[in-house]
């Protein structure tokens, strides 16, 4: 994975440079189909693409334009593993202007995350179950 990090960083930079951030964005997980062998390959039976690489993505709410993404490399893949899923949302939302509306589903929703994003003055739209 360390060999891909520079490319991912450059892609994220290009994606953000090519299009201005919209005021409404979505953060979610997605799967990229992969049939080969890899330690990064995930199995998610409830997704349309069941096997592949799991990606955390920040996209435009209306057009689906991808601004930023991170590849999931497994449990404990980051120094902030104690923060859980909310760390992924905070990491992807870093640097956004105030009053940006962030939408995400119940997979990411927690009181700690809502509080952290509220302090950054983001507008939040979250699904609860």
C-alpha–C-alpha distance, residues 44 and 68, integer Å? 22
pLDDT one-digit tens code per residue, 12-23: 999 988 888 889
Handedness of CA 124, 122, 114, 10 (dihedral sign): positive
Instruction: Look at residue 104 and tell me if it is in a domain.
Output: no
Q: Could you tell me the pTM of the whole model?
A: 0.80
Q: What integer pLDDT is reported at residue 79 of this predicted model?
A: 44
Instruction: Look at residue 123 and tell me if it is in a domain.
Output: no
Instruction: Look at residue 11 and tell me if it is in a domain.
Output: yes
Instruction: Look at residue 24 and tell me if it is in a domain.
Output: yes
Instruction: Look at residue 26 and tell me if it is in a domain.
Output: yes
Residue 80 has pLDDT above 50, yes or no: no
Beta strands in the chain (DSSP E): 24-33, 41-43, 51-60, 66-71, 101-104, 123-126
What's the average model confidence in pLDDT over 47-69?
A: 91
Instruction: Look at residue 107 and tell me if it is in a domain.
Output: no
Instruction: Look at residue 102 and tell me if it is in a domain.
Output: no
The owner of tokens 């080969």 is: 36
CA triple 96-98-99, angle to 5 deg:
110
Structural domain including 40 reads 5-95
pLDDT one-digit tens code per residue, 30-51: 899 999 998 889 998 988 999 9
Domain count, the chain: 1
Instruction: Look at residue 106 and tell me if it is in a domain.
Output: no
* Spatial contact of 108 and 116, defined as CB atoms under 8 Å apart: no
């Amino acid at each position: 994975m360390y060999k891909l990090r520079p490319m991912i960083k450059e892609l994220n930079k290009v994606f953000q440079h090519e299009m201005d951030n919209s005021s409404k964005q979505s953060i979610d997980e997605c799967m990229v189909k992969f049939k080969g062998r890899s330690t990064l390959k995930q199995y998610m039976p409830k997704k349309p693409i069941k096997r592949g690489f799991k990606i955390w993505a920040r996209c435009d709410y209306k057009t689906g334009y991808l601004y930023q993404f991170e590849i999931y490399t497994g449990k404990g893949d980051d120094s902030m593993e104690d923060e859980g899923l909310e760390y992924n949302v905070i990491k992807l939302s870093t640097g956004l202007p105030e009053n940006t509306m962030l939408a995400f589903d119940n997979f990411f929703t927690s009181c700690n995350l809502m509080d952290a994003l509220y302090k950054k003055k983001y507008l939040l739209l979250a699904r609860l179950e």
